[in-house]
Structure 1
Amino acid sequence: MHVPDGFIDVPVSVAAGVVAAGAVAVSLRGARRELDERTAPLAGLVAAFIFAVQMLNFPVAAGTSGHLLGGALAAILVGPFTGVLCISVVLLMQGILFADGGLTALGVNITVMGVVTTVVSYALFRGLVKVAPRTRRSVTVSSFVAALVSVPAAALVFTGIYAVGGTTDVPIGKVLTAMVGVHVLIGIGEAVITALTVGAVIAVRPDLVHGARGLSAPLKLRVGGELVDAAPATTPAAASPSSAALPVAARSSRPLLVTGLVTALVLAGFVSFYASANPDGLEKVAADHGIDKKTEEHASADSPLADYGVKDISDARLSGGLAGVIGVSATVVVGSGVFWAVRRRRSETAAPPSAGSAVGGSV
């Protein structure tokens, strides 16, 4: 659902940019409460994983394909504020390096694909989790439903933006029907990917899943022939910042982080070659209804990585695979840098005042 340049007029694009900038600013503050020593690296990995999976277009119907949007997945794994930042990083990397999604439409894309999907999915997810039994299975099922709903919700918001600022005269009723209809089907794929990923992470490290916090069953020990709850271990959140337990917790996350990064690299570098070549939902609707009549050439159309291929490499498999690996690597580096900076800012603001500052700095 990457909106290219030329679909939306300048005033509405600017307005969407303001909304997106405001959402990112709010998310930067909110992410300070969500990120800690364990989840900051995970957030960078989530951004890279979403980048990789977005390269895997899957067929839906009538010559149309779809791909993961990722808002629900990011929000459930690392929190809604951090989730908005994850999707924003992905969209920024795609727009600058790969000419995917217009640069003037970046605000529209962040608003639709980042803010709407994250807010809608997480609000629905939290509501479902509150009324469902507090089990790992309920988290997985709730993530499926939340992801499913988030995709047509994004399509609905895009249609509203197009109704206000569209550059072509197209009957909005037809656009709405087509957009929501095809994105309901795409939402099924989104839901499956989200539920499988959330379920896999919960199975090995439920403590790292933001949406599953507090749902882990206590460890049972057999004492005198009876099962009793083990004493809870001290977690990094409960320990002091200087606790020696923090490096242990950080190391214990490495297997998951390494596995996730390798998976993302394999998906982008190899599996992406077998992705559907059919146009995605927005591209199909735009072509069928004339929305794309005033599409503008991307400002990064001459990028060495434009269209997810490496310039001057003639072998399509090698070119696409290398581009995918570069994209995943760049996204994890940029994303991790952003989240570590946010985490560091949280540590600085939470640090107790020095003795000098406690007395107003006077001597």
Structure 2
Amino acid sequence: MHVPDGFLDAPTSIATGAVAVVGVGIALRKARNELDDRTAPMAGLVAAFIFAGQMMNFPVGAGTSGHLLGGALAAVLVGPWTGALCVSVVLLVQALFMADGGLTALGTNITLMAFVGVFVGYAVFRLVLAVLPQRLPSVPIAAAIGALISVPAAATVFTLLFAIGGTADIATAKVLTAMLGWHTVIGLGEAVITGLVVSAVVASRPDLVYGARGIVSARPLITGAVAR
């Protein structure tokens, strides 16, 4: 979903850049409440995983591309604010060193992937988790559904931005059809990957999964009897 330079006009790019700057500033403060000495290293691993996942790009048309976002995965594992920072760092590195997404469009890409993708995915995750049994196996299921919805949600917001300030001579309806069509398929793949990764971490170290904190803390403490 990397938006290239010049695909949106200057006012729209400036507006999304302002949103990104404010959002990252808030995230820097809020992330302190999500991380501790045990979970902080997880943020680096999440960023590295997202970086690798986003290297697989699929052409959508008119200069745009689709790929895994990783927003819901990051939010569930390390928290939404920390997850937004992880995705933002990945997008910055890609724009500066790999020419993946334009520098003038960096604010747009951060807004779409680091904030829309992360927070829509996490909101859906929380809603689904609230109606599922409060057990650890529910966490990867809710995470997968959050990932599924987050990808087309980000694609839809991009289409709205294109309708406001798009510079390409393409009908908005065609852009929406292409973006939603591809990103629904990508969302299915992201749901599978997110569910599998979260399931693996939950099975081994549920205490490190931000989205499982309430469930883990509510588990009863089981102690073995001392034989005499």
Letter paired with 2:215 = L
Q: Deviations over 1:61-95 (max 9, x none)?
A: xxxx8531011011000000001100000000000
Contact 2:2 2:66 in 1 (8 A): no
- The reply to whether residue 169 of structure 1 matches residue 169 of structure 2 is yes
1:223 equivalent among 219, 222, 225: 225
Partner residue, 2:69: 69
Partner residue, 2:90: 90
Contact 1:140 1:195 in 2 (8 A): yes
Normalized against structure 1, the TM-score is what?
0.58
1:132 deviates by 1.1
Partner residue, 1:199: 199
Partner residue, 1:121: 121
Q: Distance in 2 between the 1:136 and 1:67 partners?
A: 29
The answer for unaligned runs of 5 or more in structure 2 is: none
Contact 1:67 1:190 in 2 (8 A): no
Q: Distance in 1 between the 2:90 and 2:59 partners?
A: 22
- The reply to whether residue 181 of structure 1 matches residue 181 of structure 2 is yes
User: 1:215 aligns to what SS in structure 2?
Assistant: helix
Contact 1:21 1:107 in 2 (8 A): yes
Normalized against structure 2, the TM-score is what?
0.92
1:136 deviates by 1.4
Q: Distance in 1 between the 2:188 and 2:223 partners?
A: 41
Q: Deviations over 1:217-263 (max 9, x none)?
A: 334334389xxxxxxxxxxxxxxxxxxxxxxxxxxxxxxxxxxxxxx
Partner residue, 2:44: 44
- Relative contact order: is structure 1 or structure 2 higher (C-alpha 8 Å, sep ≥ 6)? 1
Q: Distance in 1 between the 2:109 and 2:200 partners?
A: 29
Q: Distance in 2 between the 1:6 and 1:202 partners?
A: 42
Q: Deviations over 1:111-155 (max 9, x none)?
A: 011100111011111111112111111111000100000000000
User: 2:175 aligns to what SS in structure 1?
Assistant: helix
Structure label with greater radius of gyration: 1
Q: Distance in 2 between the 1:3 and 1:114 partners?
A: 13
Partner residue, 1:53: 53
Q: Distance in 2 between the 1:179 and 1:59 partners?
A: 10
Q: Distance in 2 between the 1:87 and 1:33 partners?
A: 18
Partner residue, 1:146: 146
The answer for unaligned runs of 5 or more in structure 1 is: 226-363
Partner residue, 1:20: 20
Q: Deviations over 1:173-218 (max 9, x none)?
A: 1211221121111100111111111111111110000000132333
Partner residue, 1:307: none
Contact 2:50 2:90 in 1 (8 A): yes
Partner residue, 2:2: 2
Structure number with the higher helix fraction is 2
Letter paired with 2:120 = V
User: 1:136 aligns to what SS in structure 2?
Assistant: coil
